[in-house]
């Protein structure tokens, strides 16, 4: 690989890392708002399909990006971006704690009560999310490379979906469980939110498979990569 393509590979890696970190941090900040999407009148353990936190919207992007980085840049780089995401999330939590601690002035457009109502649970959410995220992402990367090695770089859809399904269930189960333990969510909603959230993530994972194929095809064509080749930067 010539110098120009090596620099391009680095730039793309940094851009993917930036998208990954942004999606992760934002999902932890917006989780308190819930939305609905009712494609069917199905009810799962008291929770309609789908009543979900808006924090779930950017979160599947993180798993798509780690799968793409795993495929093109390798396991080491995928683990690296996961660790960077952890530090970014804890850093954002520290900023929120400081912002909550300082008093608002009398003519502040946003007073303390309003600010705390929106962001008071964010540090708890970040902590719960980080524990679940750390476990789920490393599981995702390990399973992805297990199937990549087993299939000799073939059957991209298999490793993408198998790794994402497993890791997303772990992530959803742990996040909802920890938020219930911390008192952010009611225990009676636990299984309904877990199953509803997991099913929603499965749908997204299946839909993003063509995107992964498209981006991998672009990478392989641009950098002349074979099925088992990885970029070293």
Taking CB atoms within 8 Å and a gap of at least 24, the contacts of 98-101 are none
Q: Tell me how far CA of residue 155 lies from CA of 33, 57, 151, 160, 233, in angstroms.
A: 38, 27, 7, 9, 25
| Torsional class of 217: left (φ above 0), alpha (ψ -120 to 50), beta (otherwise) | alpha
DSSP letters, 120-183, are TTHHHHHHHHHHHHHHHHHHHHHHHHHHHHHTTT--HHHHHHHHHHHHHHHHHHHHHHHHHHTT
Query: Which of helix, strand or coil describes residue 45?
Result: coil
What mean pLDDT comes out for the span 109-114?
Answer: 88
Bigger pLDDT: 36 or 102?
Answer: 102
Residues in the chain: 233
**Structure letter (DSSP) for residue 20:** H
pLDDT band at residue 46 using 50, 70 and 90 as cut-offs? low
Q: Is pLDDT of 122 > 70? A: no
pLDDT of the residue at 115:
86
Helix axis angle for 3-29 and 75-101, nearest 10°, is 40
pLDDT of the residue at 195:
86
> Tell me: domain 3-223, CATH 1.10.8, correct?
no
Among 8-12, 56-60, 123-127, 150-154, name the most confident range: 8-12
| Torsional class of 45: left (φ above 0), alpha (ψ -120 to 50), beta (otherwise) | left
- 177's CB contacts (< 8 A; 6+ apart) are 190, 194
pLDDT of the residue at 125:
67
Give the distance, in angstroms, between the CA of residue 119 and the centroid of all CA atoms in the same chain: 20
Pick from 21, 31, 201, 200: which is nearest to 129 by CA?
Answer: 31
Q: Where are the alpha helices (DSSP H) in the chain?
A: 3-29, 59-73, 75-101, 112-119, 122-150, 156-181, 190-223
- 109's CB contacts (< 8 A; 6+ apart) are none
Q: Is pLDDT of 163 > 80? A: yes
pLDDT tens for 128-138 read 777 887 888 88
Q: Is pLDDT of 15 > 90? A: yes
pTM, full prediction: 0.84
């Amino acid at each position: 690989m010539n110098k120009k393509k090596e620099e391009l590979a680095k730039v793309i890696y940094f851009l993917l890392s930036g998208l990954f970190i942004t999606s992760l941090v934002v999902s932890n900040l917006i989780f308190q708002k819930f939305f609905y999407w009712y494609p069917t009148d199905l009810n799962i353990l008291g929770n309609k399909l789908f009543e979900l936190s808006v924090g779930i919207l950017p979160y599947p992007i993180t798993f798509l990006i780690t799968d793409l980085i795993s495929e093109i840049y390798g396991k080491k780089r995928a683990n690296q971006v996961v660790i960077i995401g952890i530090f970014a999330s804890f850093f954002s939590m520290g900023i929120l704690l400081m912002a909550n601690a300082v008093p608002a002035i009398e003519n502040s457009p946003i007073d303390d009560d309003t600010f705390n109502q929106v962001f008071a649970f964010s540090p708890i959410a970040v902590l719960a999310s980080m524990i679940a995220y750390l476990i789920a992402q490393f599981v995702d990367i390990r399973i992805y490379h297990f199937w990549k090695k087993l299939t000799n770089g073939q059957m991209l859809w298999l490793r993408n979906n198998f790794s994402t399904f497993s890791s997303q269930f772990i992530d959803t189960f742990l996040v909802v469980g920890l938020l219930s333990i911390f008192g952010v969510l009611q225990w009676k909603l636990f299984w309904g939110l877990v199953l509803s959230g997991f099913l929603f993530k499965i749908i997204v994972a299946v839909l993003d498979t063509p995107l992964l194929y498209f981006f991998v095809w672009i990478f392989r064509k641009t950098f002349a990569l074979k099925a088992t080749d990885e970029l070293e930067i």
